[in-house]
Chain A
Amino acid sequence: MSKDLVDLITTKHDVRNKKRKLNGKERFWLIFRYVSLTFIWFLIVMPIYVMVINSLKGVKNVYLINAFKLPERLDFSAWSVAWSGTDYFPQSISESMTRTLIFVIQSSIISAVIGSINGYVFAKWKFKGSNLIFTLFLFGMFIPYQAIMIPLVRVATEVGINKSIYVLVFAHVIYGIPICTLIFRNYYEAIPNELIEAGRVDKASMIRIYRSIILPLSIPAFVVVLIWQFTSAWNDFLFAIFLTGGSPKLSVATTALNFITGSSNQVYYGVNMTASLIVSLPTLIVYIFLGRYFLRGLLSGSLKG
């Protein structure tokens, strides 16, 4: 494999001859492209814009009729209410943020380690039937988790880890095995066999090759998998709602939902927007700084490159 999908996408690419002056038709199309791109840009940015500006209007001055208008003066009170709660708004996300952060980081690290070992074997130490087993792994990536949810809830209850964060660590690690294995396997496939050929003798060298050759080269793949698992566990709602019985204190996703559905009759949209925004910040920050790696994880879900 020469270039992977992300390299293809991000390579500077210009099939136009730059030196030549544009003629009228070409100029028209260039302007047309910019206008269209900007129009789409506005549509894409709009929801997050609405979130941000309405989180700065305070707790009670948020009306749908002014949804797109900038606040007259900045009021951060919705932020403190959403973060720590008040007497009339008892839910807070600070608590569930911390918990979610803990289980998400734990599950990402464990997933990455398992994925790396599996990927190494499936790419470089193929055994009889390993391709078939790998394909059977991949199927686990596509299943609707509802199909395993009731037995899983049952097991978690029997073991007694339901309603704790460990059940979520457990679920994300197990059901993350396919995608993490896939990402590492594709990454290791691209490492030339010649590089590890010399050391190939027995089982001991298999571990040594991993430690001395493969692992030092694996940092980009680790970043991809860590980010992928971080984002998907952070944004997960399905496991959270089934495995913790929707306990709002355990996961940010369920907390955010509680904000939306609201326990009181009065809906405070400003606080809702703020809560949603705070909940989205960690994954957004990861995306802003490590977007390339995020994209790589995203595209590996398509099974290509």
Chain B
Amino acid sequence: MAKLTTNRHSLRTRIGGLFFVLPSIITVLIFVYGMIIWSINVSLTDQNSGRKKEINYVGLKNYTDLISDDRFTHALGNLVKFTIVFILGTLVTGFIMALLLEKGIKGEGFFRSFYLYPMAISFIAMGTVFNWLLNSARDGEAGGINLALQKIGLGFLQNDWYVSERGAMYAMALPAIWQMSGYVLALFLAGFRGIPDDMREAARVDGASESQIYRYVLFPQLTPTLLTVLIILGHISMKVFDLIIGINGKSYVTQVVAVYMWESTFDARNYAKGTAIAIVLLVLIAIVVVPYLRYNNKQQAYR
């Protein structure tokens, strides 16, 4: 159908379409792809703040330096810890929310609206609250979350939160889970409701129990949704920046790749190193996102 109509276009109109998007194409070409290449170019030099100094190409030195840079590997390790806890936590929380809501329940709209509001607020703003509530003082001096845990008889869960090296990144994942669970809820809720009711009914008529219906009929239908959720959470997680800065600034314990990039660029004024870190981040994200885009592109072609 779509094919037929395109064939009917005259050459002029097809070029007409191109004509109108050309400004955007050029803009994206320059400001996305061109600037990535420019960044790669900077990352191969020894450029830092002083403009007068002549700039030399040093090959991959900035990248190999990163491998032996303890601060970078520390930041990367932190990012991995954060990503694992954030993805698992958000996935499980969001999925449970969707399970609780998917059958339809009185007051669903009320719960749903509240579950989604964190997505509308910036992390810099929420950082104030989390920075304060996740205070590390315990027992007698405790306040915030630690005090609340004591009050409800879960005092043993009291924690240093983002202060000590051991659990800092896991503590950082909590606010991120708080913010993103609603997103996962929305995607899974749409997934559940995209499954025709007949499938449930048919399984019920065949004598399947409720749990069997979920296990064998509904869950397998949600695999594409799961893939989407993983990709979206994965790329958000790898870019995490505002959240960390908002809660704990540039502190070493909670430094991740994006924060270290900022520090190297703005505090150390080492542009070459900063771009090298940024390109590493880009590659990590591309590994996750590019296959997804290709898969998506193929699906679009069938539509």
Contact = CB atoms under 8 A, between A and B. Distances in A.
B31 A117 contact: no
B2 interface: yes
Interface stretch (B59-67, B162-170, B188-196): B188-196
Contact of A283 (B122, B137, B178): B122
A302 B187 contact: yes
Contact of A67 (B28, B144, B187, B281): B144
Nearest to A237: B242
A294 B294 CA distance: 27
A15 B281 contact: no
Q: Which of A41, A146, A234 is the most central at the interface, judged by chain B CB atoms within 10 Å of its CB?
A: A146
B14 A37 contact: no
Nearest to A62: B132
A159 interface: no
A16 B103 contact: yes
Nearest to A13: B104
A213 interface: no
A217 interface: no
Interface stretch (B35-43, B70-78, B83-91, B153-161): B35-43
A294 B119 CA distance: 9
B178 A67 contact: no
Given A147-B279, A206-B16, A253-B122, A15 B200 contact: yes
Main secondary structure of the interface of A (DSSP, over half): helix
A237 B197 contact: no
Nearest to A14: B104
A144 B297 contact: no
A22 interface: no
A271 to B, nearest CB: 10
Contact of A197 (B5, B118, B122, B258): B5
A9 interface: yes
A151 B186 CA distance: 37
B24 A118 contact: yes
Interface in A250-305: 253, 256-257, 259-261, 269, 272-273, 275-277, 279-280, 283-284, 286-287, 291, 294-295, 298-299, 301-304
Contact of A130 (B17, B135, B271): B17
Contacts of B68: none
Nearest to A181: B24
B274 to A, nearest CB: 6
Contact of B114 (A45, A279, A283): A45
B56 interface: no
Interface string A133-165: 101111110111011111110000000000000
Contact of A121 (B21, B97, B266): B21
Contacts of B221: none
A53 B129 CA distance: 12
A284 B103 contact: no
A208 to B, nearest CB: 12
Interface string A148-189: 111110000000000000000000001101100100000001
B186 A37 contact: no
B158 to A, nearest CB: 14
A283 B132 contact: no
B190 A9 contact: yes
Q: Which of A231, A237, A279 is the most central at the interface, judged by chain B CB atoms within 10 Å of its CB?
A: A237
Interface string A41-68: 1011101101100000000000111111
B100 A203 contact: no
A260 B13 contact: no
Interface string B278-303: 11011001100110111011001101
A151 B133 CA distance: 38
B183 interface: yes
A33 interface: yes
A30 B103 CA distance: 11
B130 A284 contact: no
Nearest to B122: A235
A146 B132 contact: no
Contacts of A68: 148
A8 interface: yes
Contacts of B266: 242
B202 interface: no
Contacts of A237: 122-124, 241-242, 245-246
In the A-B complex, the 8 residue pairs with the smallest Cβ-Cβ separation, listed nearest first, are A64-B143, A125-B17, A235-B122, A203-B16, A146-B278, A287-B120, A148-B35, A14-B104
10 contacts: A67-B147, A150-B42, A202-B13, A203-B16, A237-B242, A238-B241, A259-B128, A276-B129, A279-B122, A284-B120
Given A41-B115, A206-B16, A275-B128, 16 more contacts: A40-B96, A41-B111, A44-B182, A48-B117, A67-B144, A118-B21, A144-B285, A146-B282, A148-B31, A151-B38, A272-B128, A276-B124, A279-B122, A280-B122, A283-B120, A303-B228
Interface of A: 5-6, 8-16, 30, 33-34, 36-37, 40-41, 43-45, 47-48, 50-51, 63-68, 114, 117-118, 120-122, 125-128, 130-133, 135-140, 142-144, 146-152, 174-175, 177-178, 181, 189, 193, 197, 200-203, 206, 231, 234-238, 241-242, 253, 256-257, 259-261, 269, 272-273, 275-277, 279-280, 283-284, 286-287, 291, 294-295, 298-299, 301-304
